[in-house]
Amino acid sequence: MTRTLRGLWSRRQALAPVAALAAALVAAVTVCVVRGRQEGDPGLVAPLVALGCVSLVAPARALAEDRRAEAALARLRGLGGLRLVGHLLAEPLLAVLAGGVVGLGVASVFAAPALTGLLVLAATVVGAALAIGVALGVHLREPLSLQVSRLARPRQASTAATFAGLLALAAAGYAVFAAGQHPAGPRWLVDAAPALVGLAIGQVLVWLLRGTARLAVARTGSASAGPFLAVRRLARRTGTVAPLALVVAAAVTATVAGTAAASSQHWVDQSARLDVAAPVRVQLDGVAAAQVLDLTHRVDPRGRWLEAAVVLPRGEDGRRTVLLDTDRYARVSAGLLGTTAAAPVSAHVAALGGGAGALGRGGTVVLAARVTGRVPATVRFDIDYVTDQNYVATRTLRVRPGRDGVVAARVHVGGCSHGCVPTGLTVDAAGRTRGISSLTLRTLRFAGIDLPQTFGLAGGSLPLSGPSLSGPSPTHRPVSTGVPVPVIATAGPTTQVRGPDGGELPASAVARVAALPLVGARGTLADLRRALAGALPTSPSARVFVLARADTPAAVLAGLTGERQTLAQVHARVDAASGAGRARTALLGGLCCLLVATIALFAGISRQRRELAHETASLRVVGLPLARLRHSVRVELLVCGLAGLVAVGLGSWLAGVLLLDRLPLLDVPADALAPDTRARPVVLVAGALVALVLVVVVAGRGRAVREGASRPVLLREEGVE
């Protein structure tokens, strides 16, 4: 044990990155497992576990490489097999254990790990033992003569390494395929898909980079020292290139998770806004549609804060209907919905209420007509309409034409203060009817409504000829069924809209939008007052709301008794119901992947430091100035950084296209707006920049060529006399 501890101390520089990696892995995996369980999906940790396993391979190989000479000596002394592996494993496993315990401590700050943490620690130690054991096993199978040689020999990519690269590609392909199946493949595989795609992209990048560098060797024969050396280092050394794969994989994973989290956050925000429809929403029970309209107008007669709304359940066309007091929409709802898919509603809402003169408001009837032919003694106009109190009424005008046949009148009409709907018009003539040819209506405005236009009387000409006009007039046009209700609808055929009584009314879509307040992505919006006209008692299945602005005085709100919900409350409810926390946990896992990749990159680059120092010393001894050598390292890092930037950008975009709408990170109800899973340039650029910064800063620090540490005299160290 003492010997092991001494060995641990003497090799602390090589073992410290392994311990740090173990600490990061145990802490990150524990926290993510605990968070994943809270979100009901422990599999969210799968990307981190996948990258964690890969991150252990390189240090394991390096540790095994470091112990080659020791292994050779032990073999010469007759030690071998599992006993030797066990002997060589003791130090690194102790380092992993120590790091893991530290990680456990860190995890306990963020979550209560308990048994989970211990299991993660045990799994990490076992994983590390396997990785290092396999790497040691490879070295122990080397011929002893090769193992004791002091000359380092170049190692071609082993069959196992090539196989591992191809395996990463195959695993990524299968994970994408599994995620697209219905039902999806194994959940852990789908959860791990971003990391697997990232690893595949990282592997392809490494192959491309090294292949390109090899091709560039011949073309840079005449280049200056910087590119000349950088290209050869990239082509012939794995130093910077190999850890790049892990960085790319982690950055792709984090970027995909970031896009998913942003998408999910955006969806929750949109859905909550659509659901609440105003800063404050009060649901009233046992209140009829007309009553809520009356209530809002009574409490807030100037329409400054309140808006009545009624939601009807699905009709025959599968759509829900929302009826709003559209005159107040702009003031109460439009602001809150301005950032949602329902934003275009405010541009069209004006067409719902008074559109085409179909909804009257006002108190007068203005008539101007002319009878051609023989002038009757009296012309009678019966205008049927539905009052603003939902009563059917008829306003009758009896007008005596002048000798020249001109008919003119201006009379009061009741029940139209809050809006009324004309439903029929009958024109009749009395006395001296023989010889009347027609009545030309120049003007017939009913509560502001142009009746000839509403009833489709082309040119306003009424044919009044006939032996008798005392019976039902041929001009009678019942409009309650003939004039469609203007609506704003989501995509799909829209021929009907439900009234507050649950009955179907003919509808005509004036605009199409992606989503509507209170009903989501499958619904129809109509004006409440217009829909109320002629409606029977409100359907019991209708939900009645008062929508209110955020600045509604408390006294006004106090007058509304019902379940009150604010945007924040609805947001929290939608967030919880949709499981949006899963996307945040996935993002946490992605960031942890970046942390692990950073440590692995630094450890990988640090291991090359001695080699780089010797290389630099060898070049300084032949007269190359340090500045040119530093330039070559900068070129190398820049190439790797830019390659990483491009790979992460393109890789994240590709992974997003392949995976984002397939990852089970959000439970979207059937009628809800579909999440926008398009790549977000900001997130893509951020992920790519993180990769660039990691490579340039972390690798740059690890590959910094210090003058004192790379003096040519370093080369005599092994042969000091």
Partner 1 sequence: MSELLELAGVSYDTAGRTLLDDITVSFHPGEMTALSGPSGSGKTTLLSVAGGLLEPSRGTTSYAGRPMWRGNGDPRPEVAFVLQVYGLVPILSARENVSIALRARGVAPAEADERAEAELARFHIADLGDRQVEELSGGQMQRVACARGCVVRAEVLLADEPTSELDQVNRGLVMEQLREEAERGAVVVLATHDLELVELCDRHHVIDEGRLAR
Q: Which residues bind partner 1 (CB under 8 A)?
A: 151-154, 221-223, 225, 228-229, 232-233, 235-237, 611, 615, 617-626, 707, 711-713, 715-716, 718-721
H helix and E strand count, the chain: 25, 17
Least distance (Å) between residue 624 CB and partner 1? 4
Residue type, 668: V
Distance between CA atoms of residues 545 and 324, nearest Å: 9
Residue 528 sits at φ, ψ, to 5 deg, of -65, -45
Beta bridge partners of 371: 439
Bridge partners of 479, per DSSP, are: none
List phi, psi (to 5°) of 215: -65, -35
CA distances from 254 to 46, 106, 694 (A): 13, 21, 14
In angstroms, the CA 60 to CA 67 distance is 11
Query: Encoding tokens for residue 620?
Result: 């300084």
Contact between residue 496 and residue 488 where contact means Cβ atoms under 8 Å apart:
no
Return the ∠ at Cα 347 (arms to 362 and 493), rounded to 5°: 100
- Report residue 636 as tokens: 């190398």
Pick from 403, 404, 385, 405: nearest CA to 395:
385
Count other Cβ atoms within 10 Å, centred on residue 558: 9
**C-beta neighbour count of 167 within 10 angstroms:** 15
Cβ closer to partner 1: 159 or 222? Answer: 222
Using CA atoms in the order 77, 80, 85, 87, what is the torsion angle rounded to 10 degrees? -40
110 and 32 Cβ atoms separated by less than 8 Å: no
Cβ distance 216 to 231 under 8 Å? yes
Phi/psi region, residue 520 (left: phi>0; alpha: psi -120 to 50; beta: rest), is left
- What is the CB neighbour count within 10 angstroms for residue 183? 5
CB 655 within 8 A of CB 256: yes
Least separation in angstroms between CB 62 and partner 1: 17
Of 242, 257, 239, residue with least CA distance to 644? 242
- Closer CB to partner 1, residue 572 or residue 713? 713
Q: Is 398 helix (H, G, I), strand (E, B) or coil?
A: strand
User: H or E element: which one contains 447?
Assistant: none
| Residue 524 · residue 319 · CB < 8 Å | yes
**Identity of the residue numbered 167:** L
Task: State how far the Cα of 619 lies from the Cα of 626, in Å rounded to an integer.
Answer: 9
The span from the CA of 68 to the CA of 147, in Å, is 6
Helical spans, DSSP H, in 182-340: 187-219, 225-236, 241-276, 289-299, 329-332, 334-337
The answer to whether 270 and 691 have CB atoms below 8 angstroms apart is no
- Beta-strand pair 392-399/378-386: antiparallel
Element at 459 (helix H, strand E): none
Which residue(s) pair with 366 in the sheet?
410, 445
Please tell me whether the peptide bond between 183 and the residue prior to it is cis, using omega within 30 degrees of 0: yes
